[in-house]
Amino acid sequence: MTPRTPHQRCTFIPPWLADRVDGPGAAARDEELRARRGATARPAQAVAPGGPAWTVHDAGSSTTLPGSAVRAAGEPATGDVAVDEAASGIEATLAMYADALGRSSYDGAGAPVSLTVHYGQGYDNAFWDGTQLVFGDGDGRVFERFTKPVDVLAHEFTHAVIESTAGLVYEGQSGALNESVADVFAACLKQRLLGQEAGEGDWLIGAGIFKPSVRARALRDMAAPGTAYDDPELGADPQVGHMDDYIETTEDNGGVHLNSGIPNRAFQLAAVAVGGASIEGAGRIWYDALVGGGVPASADFATFAAATVAAAGEHADAVREAWAQVGVGPGSRAQVPEPPAQQPTGRLRVERSGGFAGRTETAELDIDEVDDDELRGLARDALAVASRSELPKPDMFVYTFTLEGHDPVRVPEQLLSASQSELARRILQSGRFDA
């Protein structure tokens, strides 16, 4: 089997939406999450053998994980909508993997699944942190609660499956594949629950995640990448669906949420061509490719495409044609910024990118003009820490601190120091967004 990579935190919101969504306190909630990653408990590992298949916890609007256990497998509904949505979603997801793919939990060995809801105050995200699934309630202005669309839960659970199988590195084309495979099985679950075949599905990911006032059908459209939303505040969906439009960028871990539209479209085409229920047709092919040992952690689109064709049997021509229609071939990978050396003087820019929606939020201030010794001290301490080479978990955020005249300091959410967390919180919450 392919060697596994270390845990990669996976969040649901991509960078270009944070650029637009600047509700009160949003930055603070996200900074707190990053700072607390290192102290996160490991409930899934602590469940005794023979315990419940899943347990939902309530963080009580805090950022302390896992929170209080409120419902486990076999127990009745609680009346808390988010708790019960998470319970129904994980039961359906586990059943799909077991019944259609013969897989027991995310590790294939029946690992108990830990879930946490009501994370943070109006937190706009959902993620897999290497141990558990975590869901925010949304800000109530742009986003609904993240347990509402069941495919969000299946998406995050699939990140855990990917981590336990091919271990696709969350950067560049392998990172876009990581995001795409998570969307693939999210769509399969949604269609399975609706009793639909591939040709009947709407292929929307995250339908219902936006408030009704937002002009959006969903967060992503696998059948037509780049068309899921077009809103005066959020802008237009920037995802691409063909290699001719492949985006080379250092943001969003090399555009993992942008370029995932390419393999997403390939799967949708393959699923319709193969026919039947997506999970039993193209879904089975994609799964066999993922677990078959022929997909390295650094796989590009062409490598993964070849693995799916090899796993497709009588449907090989249909799968090959699906990839050809999105122009998949050898592609270059985005590069990670060079390690920086910082001094706390001049203009300081803070950027937060990634997350489930792949959005980017920025703000800046001139440190020399700030009459706040505490903030200057935070800047000094935060910028003294070098960039971290570890990749973020899928769908978790990355923070970049850029001081005028110096290279940026880039830190995955789970590795933020306390100073970096507080500095980002204060600057982003200030609302001084860069034009």
- Catalytic machinery residues: 156, 257
User: How many C-alpha atoms does 161 have within 13 Å on its Cβ side?
Assistant: 33
Contact partners, residue 312, CB within 8 Å, separation at least 6: 274, 285, 318, 319, 320
Burial 175-193 (b: 16+ CB within 10 A, else e): bbbbbbbbbbbbbbbbbbb
Give phi and psi for 341, each to the nearest 5.
Answer: -130, 120
State both tokens at 268.
Answer: 């949708």
Identify the three-state secondary structure at position 193. helix
| Sign of the alpha-carbon dihedral angle for 421, 427, 430, 435 | negative
Strands (E), 193-293: 204-205, 220-221, 230-231, 235-236
Burial classification of residue 49, based on how many CB atoms lie within 10 Å of its CB (0-12 exposed, 13-18 middle, 19 or more buried): exposed
As a whole number of angstroms, the distance between CA 99 and CA 91 comes to 12
Strands 132-136 and 397-403: unpaired
Strands 235-236 and 230-231: antiparallel
* 389 to 40, 131, 167, 253, 337: CA distances (angstroms): 21, 21, 17, 12, 10
As a whole number of angstroms, the distance between CA 127 and CA 389 comes to 20
Give CA angle at 114 (108, 119), nearest 5°.
Answer: 140
* 205 to 221, 283, 319: CA distances (angstroms): 6, 16, 22
As a whole number of angstroms, the distance between CA 185 and CA 121 comes to 29
* CA nearest to 354, candidates 407, 306, 416: 416
As a whole number of angstroms, the distance between CA 243 and CA 83 comes to 40
